[in-house]
A and B are shown apart, each in its own frame.
Chain A
Amino acid sequence: MDIQSLTYLFVGTSFALYIGIAIRSRAGSTADFYVAGGGVSPLANGMATAADWMSAASFISMAGIISFIGRDGSVYLMGWTGGYVLLALLLAPYLRKFGKYTVPDFVGDRYYSDAARLVAVICVIFISFTYVAGQMRGVGIVFSRFLEVDINAGVAIGMAIVFFYAVLGGMKGITYTQVAQYCVLIFAFMVPAIFISLNMTGNPIPQFGFGSTLTTAPDTFLLDRLDQLSTELGFAAYTSGQKSTIDVFCITAALMVGTAGLPHVIVRFFTVPRVRDARLSAGYALVFIAILYTTAPAVASFVRVNVIETINEASYEAVPGWFKRWEDSGLIAWHDKNGDGRIQYRAGDALVGVKPQFLPERGAAGQRLLSNKPSANSNEIYIDRDIMVLANPEIARLPNWVIALVAAGGLAAALSTAAGLLLVISTAIAHDLLKKVLMPDITDRQELLYARIAAAVAIGIAGLFGIYPPAFVAQVVAFAFGLAAASFFPVIFMGIFYRRMNREGAIAGMLSGLLFTFAYIVYFKFINPAANSADHWWLGISPEGIGTLGMLVNFTTALAVCHVTAPPPASIFELVDNVRIPRGAGAAYHHHLES
Chain B
Amino acid sequence: MNQPREQQRDYWRSNLRLLCGLLSIWFLCSFGLGILWVDWLDQYRLFGFKLGFWFAQQGAIYVFVVLIFVYIFAANRLDHRHGVNEDEDHYVEDENYYGADGD
**Hey, which bits of chain A sit against chain B, CB under 8 A?**
28-32, 35, 37-39, 66, 71, 73-74, 77-78, 81-82, 84-85, 88-90, 93, 99, 101, 207-208, 210-213, 221-224, 239, 241, 245, 248-249, 252-253, 256, 273-276, 279-280, 282-283, 286-287, 290, 293-294, 297, 435, 444, 577-578, 580-587, 589-591, 593
B6: CB under 8 A from chain A? no
By the criterion CB–CB under 8 Å, are B62 and A82 in contact? Answer: no
Whether B4 is near chain A, meaning CB under 8 Å from some CB there, is no
A74 to chain B, nearest CB (A): 4
**Is there contact, CB below 8 Å, between A78 and B19?**
no
What chain A residues lie within 8 Å of B39 (beta carbons)?
241
User: Which B residues lie within 8 Å of A249 (CB)?
Assistant: 31, 35-36
- Cβ-defined contact, A222 with B48, below 8 A: yes
Contacts A286-B64, A584-B1, A586-B97; is A78 near B56 (CB within 8 Å)?
Answer: yes
Cβ contact of A89, chosen from B3, B11, B71, B93, cutoff 8 A? B71
- Choose among A66, A582, A587 the residue with the greatest number of B CB atoms under 10 Å from its CB: A582
Bound CA span A115–B45, Å: 54
Majority SS at the chain B contact face: helix
Count chain A CB atoms within 10 A of each CB in B1, B56, B60, B85 and give the residue with the most. Answer: B56
Known contacts A224-B48, A274-B86; A88 and B71 CB within 8 A of each other = yes
Minimum CB–CB distance from A76 to chain B (whole Å) comes to: 10
- Bound CA span A170–B68, Å: 29
Q: A74-B56, A212-B48, A297-B57 are in contact. Are A586 and B64 (CB under 8 A)?
A: no
Which residues from B are CB-within-8-Å of A90? 19
For the complex formed, measure the closest distance between the CB of B48 and the CB atoms of chain A, giving whole angstroms. Answer: 3
Residues of chain B within 8 A (CB-CB) of A73 are 57
Contact B85 A582 (CB under 8 A): yes
- Measured in the bound complex, the distance between the Cα atoms of B83 and A447 in whole Å is 39
**Which residues on B sit within 8 Å (CB–CB) of A81?**
60-61, 64
Question: Bound complex: CA of A99 vs CA of B58, how far in Å?
Answer: 35
How far, in whole Å, are A471 and B68 apart by their CA atoms in the complex? Answer: 39
Measured between beta carbons, the chain B residues less than 8 angstroms from A66 are: 57
| Contact yes or no, A239 B58, CB < 8 A | no
Quick one: which of A223, A282, A283, A585 has the most chain B CB within 10 A? Answer: A283
The A interface is mostly helix, strand or loop, or mixed, namely helix
In whole angstroms, how far apart are the Cα atoms of A93 and B72 in the complex?
10
Interface contact A276-B60, CB-CB below 8 Å: no
B98 in contact with A35 (CB, 8 Å): yes
Q: Could you tell me if A211 and B49 are in contact, using CB atoms closer than 8 angstroms?
A: yes
Contact check: which of B22, B69, B92, B95 meets A283 at CB < 8 Å? B69
Contact indicator per residue, chain B 58-102, by CB within 8 Å of chain A (1) or not (0): 101110110111011001100100011110111111011111111
Give every chain A residue within 8 A of B68 (Cβ-Cβ): 84-85, 88-89, 279, 282-283, 286
How many chain B residues sit at the interface, stated as a range, is 35 or more
* Inter-subunit contact A585/B89 (CB<8 Å): yes
- Contact indicator B86/A275 (Cβ below 8 Å): yes
10 smallest CB-CB distances across A and B, nearest first, come from A221-B48, A74-B56, A211-B48, A31-B98, A297-B57, A581-B84, A283-B68, A211-B47, A31-B100, A211-B49
> Is B58 touching A286 in the complex (CB atoms < 8 A)?
no
Known: A82-B26, A88-B68. A39 touches B56 (CB 8 A): no
Cα–Cα, bound, A89→B68 (Å): 8
Residue contacts A-B, CB under 8 angstroms, 22 given:
A28-B95, A29-B100, A31-B97, A71-B56, A74-B60, A77-B57, A85-B26, A88-B72, A101-B98, A211-B49, A221-B47, A221-B48, A223-B50, A239-B53, A273-B91, A274-B86, A280-B72, A286-B64, A581-B11, A583-B85, A593-B99, A593-B102
Tell me the complex Cα distance, A256–B65, Å.
14
Chain B residues with Cβ under 8 A from A212's Cβ?
47-48
Additional 13 contacts, C-beta under 8 A, given A35-B98, A577-B8, A584-B86: A81-B60, A81-B64, A82-B26, A88-B72, A252-B34, A279-B76, A283-B69, A286-B68, A294-B58, A297-B57, A581-B8, A586-B89, A586-B91
A262 to B25, CA, bound (A): 24
A294 CB contact (under 8 Å) in B53, B62, B79, B91: B62
Within the assembled complex, what's the spacing in Å between the Cα atoms of A248 and B22?
A: 22
CA distance in complex: A279, B60 (Å): 20
B22: which A residues are within 8 A, CB to CB?
A: 85, 89
Tell whether, in the assembled complex, residue B48 and residue A210 are in contact, meaning their CB atoms are under 8 Å apart. yes
Partner of A583, one of B64, B86, B96, B100: B86
Q: Which of B11, B12, B69 has the most CB of A within 10 A?
A: B69
Min CB distance, B58 to chain A, in Å?
6
A31 x B57 contact (CB < 8 A): no
Chain B residues positioned under 8 Å from A581 (CB to CB): 3, 8, 11-12, 84
Cα A456 to Cα B91 with chains together (Å): 33
Contact B86 A585 (CB under 8 A): yes
CB-based contact A82/B30 at 8 Å: yes
Whether A290 and B64, one on each chain, are in contact in the complex, defined by CB atoms closer than 8 angstroms, is: yes
